Amino acid sequence: MQTNSSGSVPSVISDKYTQSHIPIAIWLLICCALVFAMIVVGGVTRLTGSGLSIVEWKPIVGTIPPISQEDWEVLLEKYRQIPQYEQVNKGMTLDEFKGIFWWEYFHRLLGRLIGLVYFIPFVYFIVRKRIDRLLGLKLSGIFALGALQGLMGWYMVMSGLADNVYVSQYRLTAHLGLAFIIYAAMFWVATGLLSPSNTHLSAPVSVHKLKRFAWLLTGLIFVMVLSGGLVAGIHAGRAYNTFPLMDGFLIPPAMFVLEPWYRNFFDNITTVQFDHRLIAWLLIFSVPWFWFRAKQLSLSCSSRLACHLLLLMLLIQAGLGITTLLLSVPLTFAAAHQAGAVLLFTAGLWVCRKLS
């Protein structure tokens, strides 16, 4: 097959390729929306102390909720056997138990739903030969990460069933980080199928430097998410509820009271919150600088829009974070802050995609 001087045949082939993958991209974006919901519900589960209300992992049987009064009594009696009940919720009534049970139940149910919504279309697209080998490897990798996430979730819960009142902040952070990695992988593949390439008017070298900057910012957002997991894990957000100083200090004096010194970065409420604030300040200064540099280049309209949304989402997320802190972590604002983290991360990924 020959092409004319305008390159029309390659363009047609590219258009057909993109059109054939649109259903796959839409499916992946639906999965992204479900993972987004999963992260938010997981945050609420953590904030309400609901994560240990179900002390068993039954992937199939556990889908059926308690129906009879006897079912509820059995579940409550199992909950009474763990340290959290004895030290935090001793004397909890059945109605109070139901209040924390349903959050954890829906969190796990949503995880099962995501597995089905991902697996069934995946098999369908393979059977219909809509997925080539490279794409198949990517999608198989995402499925493997999803299976690992299920195991990680139970591994996290196990840490709070024996000796601890709450789950380990290390396992919680790993669970959260893996959720963001799965989300990023699906979003990246989906947007790659919808927009295989972008054309910019500025010199490739300038765009390439801006793209590296965008990846650094997105990586920093991910690190901030991980630090937020540590904040949630040790309830660091309920301390130092002042801004911009921490109870009058730029650098609080209790930063390194634990031994050995490196424990402070994971177990010290003061240090963990300070680190989270520090990363936020880095983004508050870096993202506007990135936006200003992007304005100096001749980018495509969609790339410029992505840069605008990154800046806007940063401002919203910073506002949510400060409000959540000042109000001592109310449920509504804390959940919105967790949702904002996903949206800010998404904006960073989209900028990286549009600059690719």
Name which of 37-51, 184-198, 210-224, 321-335 the model is least confident about: 184-198
- In the predicted model, what is the mean pLDDT of residues 217-229? 97
Query: Does residue 3 register a pLDDT over 50?
Result: no
- For 246, phi and psi rounded to 5 degrees? -100, 95
Provide the pLDDT confidence category of residue 21 given band limits of 50, 70 and 90. confident
Provide the pLDDT confidence category of residue 196 given band limits of 50, 70 and 90. low
- Output the pLDDT for position 162: 79
Query: Does the annotation place 200 within a ligand binding site?
Result: no
3 state SS of 246: strand
DSSP one-letter string for 25-38: HHHHHHHHHHHHHH
- Supply the pTM of this predicted model: 0.92
Query: Does residue 10 register a pLDDT over 60?
Result: no
- For 200, phi and psi rounded to 5 degrees? -120, 150
Q: For tokens 């004895």, what's the residue?
A: 86
Query: Does residue 330 register a pLDDT over 80?
Result: yes
Query: Does the annotation place 107 within a ligand binding site?
Result: no
Q: What is the Cα–Cα distance from 221 to 170, expressed in whole angstroms?
A: 18
- Output the pLDDT for position 356: 83
- In the predicted model, what is the mean pLDDT of residues 35-62? 89
- Output the pLDDT for position 262: 94
At 93-121, the pLDDT tens digits run 999 999 999 999 999 999 999 999 999 99
Provide the pLDDT confidence category of residue 298 given band limits of 50, 70 and 90. confident
- Output the pLDDT for position 294: 93
Name which of 176-190, 201-215, 289-303, 310-324 the model is least confident about: 201-215
Query: Does residue 201 register a pLDDT over 70?
Result: no
Provide the pLDDT confidence category of residue 127 given band limits of 50, 70 and 90. very high
Provide the pLDDT confidence category of residue 15 given band limits of 50, 70 and 90. low
At 238-256, the pLDDT tens digits run 999 999 999 999 999 999 9
Which 8-state DSSP code applies to residue 296?
T
- Output the pLDDT for position 150: 92
The b-or-e profile of 210-247 (16+ CB within 10 A means b, else e) is: bbebbbebbebbbbbbbbbbbbbbbebbebbeeeeebe
- Output the pLDDT for position 164: 79
276, 224 Cβ separation under 8 angstroms: yes
Give the mean pLDDT of the chain.
90
26, 173 Cβ separation under 8 angstroms: no
240, 247 Cβ separation under 8 angstroms: yes
- Output the pLDDT for position 13: 44
